[in-house]
Amino acid sequence: MSNYRFKALEVTLTRQRKPLEIPTDKVSNYFGELTFNRSAMQEFLTREAYQKLIDVIEKSEIIDRKIADQIAAGMKSWAISKGATHYTHWFHPLTGATAEKHDAFIVPVEGGKAIENFQGGELIQQEPDASSFPSGGIRNTFEARGYTAWDPTSYAFIMERTLCIPTIFVSYTGEALDYKTPLLKSLSVLDKHATSVAKLFDRNVNKVFATLGWEQEYFLVDAALFKARPDLSLTGRTIFGHASAKDQQLSDHYFGTIHERVLNYMAELEYEAHRLGIPVKTRHNEVAPNQFELAPVYEETNISVDHNQLMMHLMEKIARKHDFQVLLHEKPFKGVNGSGKHNNWSIATDTGVNLLSPGKTTASNFRFLAFMVNILKAVESYSDVLRAHIASAGNDHRLGAHEAPPAIISVFIGKQLSATLDEIEKQTKKGKMDANGFNLNINIPKIPEILLDNTDRNRTSPFAFTGNKFEFRAVGSTANCASPMLALNTIVADQLKRFTSDVNELMKKNVRKDEAIFQVMKKYIKESKRIRFEGNNYGDEWIKEATKRKLNNIISTPQALKILVAKESIKLFEDNEVLSERELRARYEIQLENYTKKIQIESRVIGDLAKNHIIPIAIRYQNTLIENVKGLKDVLDQKTFVKLSRNQMQTIKEISEHVEEIKDQVAAMLEERKKANKIEDIEKQSLAYNQQVMPYLDLIRYHVDKLELMVDDELWPLPKYRELLFNK
């Protein structure tokens, strides 16, 4: 008897280990060699074109056609020198993946020959016939007009012998159809308002940019085992599977020695990432078996987001070369930790100051605290907006599952900083100014050095201050970081704008600048108190406490997404010109539909597998038990038979009970799906999928997982958790 599971196990267990084939060069020798970075620009562009491109990157200047042609020519020569044959505009449509459509450089010329050609126009703008990308009704399919436009701030790069040009993707009428467009707008509005605030403290500041350092968690499973699990291939997660007798209870995987086969994968992944200029730095084993994490050094947010998208692509590609499948899903396995993507975020000035780094002087601490208080206030005002921007079907399994932050957004700032804010709140003294115009008697408390120490940490908070940056931990592992980042940038920008106006208001009444700043800070500290939580976010007490504080605990994606189109969100994004109401409504629709489809697929897959894989096997095994009992009856006297067949009979009955339950639940689920499919309102439909269809997944799973424990291992068709989680 052979089944897919055993074939897959055989392949896995007899795999030949491949030797690692990457150069042993110093990383600095090849770092960024596949990007059109500044040194490549210098080498391949005229001095005029180079200078112009730098101005475009640094000062957002507009490019004219002549220069565009020069840049395109230089980029083409560089790409061809690296072996590229094609070029593509590379963008982030709202499907969540990245998109490319390749065109060859060659154009035929007379005499049956061809030359390589690439014009400025092709660099700057393209019109992919992209009618199948989600647009949430903005772009009717018959119009089919969306275009991509070059984002010169993110270096072009080469992948698969193709020159990839990072672009935004917008509809013909100018609406964003991607993640990058609103991200860039949010960065620009944050720059504007953060610079105004930073200027209150230092007139030399002319630009503020957001920095992002993400930490990507993922699982690796052997490719053969992965292929033998249709649920993993079709939904990214296991919808069945009894827990392995041993999984993460001994915590022996976390930070453990990295297995050789995995290390080879990581080494090649890092090699390719480094060639693409992605500064990957950290790698380690995570909590769950076969779970890992990688993190680069932080970068400017737009670049970092591109790099994360590129990295997820590379992870899948390189995994295939190593006969692994990478699982980016937030919760591939029930009962063991899921995967997140911490977004470490800060803001820095063009004068080289990290605004979230406590300073050494009174003045720099004053500035630090002002930004800190504004961020607290921003999150307090817009916690639901943040929640909406991390919502996904996958992340629903993770948030609040006692391994990741709950769906309640709160902020952890640590004991020291809390004490500092409390102290400010209580101060009433007014006093004299020092030479720099700062009131010494306001007595900005000195921030203890210990803040920079990693000891004062709370790993359970969804949004935690970690010494010189915030760590947004509730982001899911498959997310495009642009989504949480554009939300965070916008709420902070909006808050800083209000801060400036509140301070100006007081100054108009002849309150001195520092006194005005201080008063507004005090007010914000009071107002934002409810968002601060230093305790254990995993505990049930916190849920009670949060209810008292009127903080929302939005546990499902359809409910979370609704905030996108709530009045406060529309006003926020329109006021700051990041997203229009029409764009928000489009995003809302797209994400709801995406959610509904995901649950629909999971529900179909569980139904199919239960009926075609599980039940027939359970019955086959039950038949052998029945044969066995019949045989016992033949050879034993009645009294002994009754005594010795008790447990067998019980198992036979239990199998039938589970099989019946599964059939009933699958049928009932199908009915609910039919009802849900008839609902035309997509909001109601997604709620029906969430509330009426989804619960059946767990009900069915319960019985299948029971059967897994009863049925002969020889017959069981799907690789088991112990096989998926422990094979390398």
Per CB under 5 A, residues contacting Mg ion are 215, 342
Choose the binding region for ligand ADP from 207-215, 420-428, 477-485, 613-621 (rule: CB under 6 A): 207-215
Q: Which is nearer to ligand ADP, 439 or 461 (CB)?
A: 461
According to the binding rule CB under 6 A, does residue 211 interact with ligand ADP?
A: yes
CA-wise closest residue to 701 among 622, 597, 606, 613? 606
User: CA–CA distance from 322 to each of 46, 235, 269, 271, 678 (Å)?
Assistant: 42, 22, 10, 14, 44
According to the binding rule CB under 6 A, does residue 341 interact with ligand ADP?
A: no
State which of residues 213, 277, 332, 358 lies at the interface with ligand ADP (CB under 6 A): 213
Q: Which is nearer to ligand ADP, 244 or 466 (CB)?
A: 466
According to the binding rule CB under 6 A, does residue 9 interact with ligand ADP?
A: no
Q: x/- site string to ligand ADP, residues 258 to 297, per CB under 6 A?
A: -------------------------------------xxx
State which of residues 125, 131, 354, 552 lies at the interface with ligand ADP (CB under 6 A): 354
Q: Minimal CB distance to ligand ADP: which residue?
A: 213
Least distance in angstroms from the C-beta of 520 to ligand ADP:
25
Q: How many residues of this chain bind ligand ADP (CB under 6 A)? A: 16
Angle between helices 362-388 and 180-201 (to 10 degrees): 160
Q: Are 204 and 351 in contact (CB under 8 A)?
A: yes
Beta bridge partners of 210: 347
The burial class, CB within 10 Å (0-12 / 13-18 / 19+), for 185 is buried
3-class SS at 62?
A: coil
Q: Which is nearer to Mg ion, 331 or 469 (CB)?
A: 469
- Binding partner selected for residue 491 from Mg ion, ligand ADP, none, CB under the kind-specific 5 to 8 Å limit: none
State which of residues 337, 344, 594, 727 lies at the interface with ligand ADP (CB under 6 A): 344
DSSP character at residue 337: -
Least distance in angstroms from the C-beta of 553 to Mg ion:
23
Please state the separation of Cα 381 from the chain's center in Å. 23
CA-wise closest residue to 261 among 232, 221, 296? 221
Q: Which is nearer to Mg ion, 38 or 457 (CB)?
A: 457
State which of residues 265, 298, 533, 716 lies at the interface with ligand ADP (CB under 6 A): 298
Please state the separation of Cα 300 from the chain's center in Å. 17
Nearest-5° Cα angle at 460, 455 to 466: 40
Least distance in angstroms from the C-beta of 268 to ligand ADP:
21
Least distance in angstroms from the C-beta of 251 to ligand ADP:
16
Least distance in angstroms from the C-beta of 658 to ligand ADP:
43
Q: Are 128 and 171 in contact (CB under 8 A)?
A: no
Q: Which is nearer to ligand ADP, 222 or 299 (CB)?
A: 299
Q: What token pair was written down for 243?
A: 């827990």
Least distance in angstroms from the C-beta of 216 to ligand ADP:
10
Beta bridge partners of 217: 293
Q: Which is nearer to ligand ADP, 89 or 342 (CB)?
A: 342
Choose the binding region for ligand ADP from 432-440, 468-476, 627-635, 711-719 (rule: CB under 6 A): 468-476
According to the binding rule CB under 6 A, does residue 468 interact with ligand ADP?
A: yes
State which of residues 212, 379, 385, 592 lies at the interface with ligand ADP (CB under 6 A): 212
- Binding partner selected for residue 213 from Mg ion, ligand ADP, none, CB under the kind-specific 5 to 8 Å limit: ligand ADP
DSSP string, 621-672: HHHHHHHHHHHHHHHS-HHHHHHHSHHHHHHHHHHHHHHHHHHHHHHHHHHH
Instruction: Look at the alpha carbons of 173, 178, 182, 184 in this order and tell me if their dihedral is positive or negative.
Output: negative
Least distance in angstroms from the C-beta of 472 to Mg ion:
10
Q: Which is nearer to ligand ADP, 236 or 340 (CB)?
A: 340
Instruction: Look at the alpha carbons of 247, 248, 251, 256 in this order and tell me if their dihedral is positive or negative.
Output: positive
Q: Which is nearer to ligand ADP, 278 or 525 (CB)?
A: 278
Q: Are 179 and 481 in contact (CB under 8 A)?
A: no
Cβ contacts of 137 within 8 Å, gap of 6 or more: 586, 589
Q: Minimal CB distance to Mg ion: which residue?
A: 342
Cα–Cα distance between 654 and 648 in angstroms, integer?
10
Interface residues with ligand ADP (CB under 6 A)?
Answer: 211-213, 215, 295-298, 344-346, 354, 466, 468-469, 471
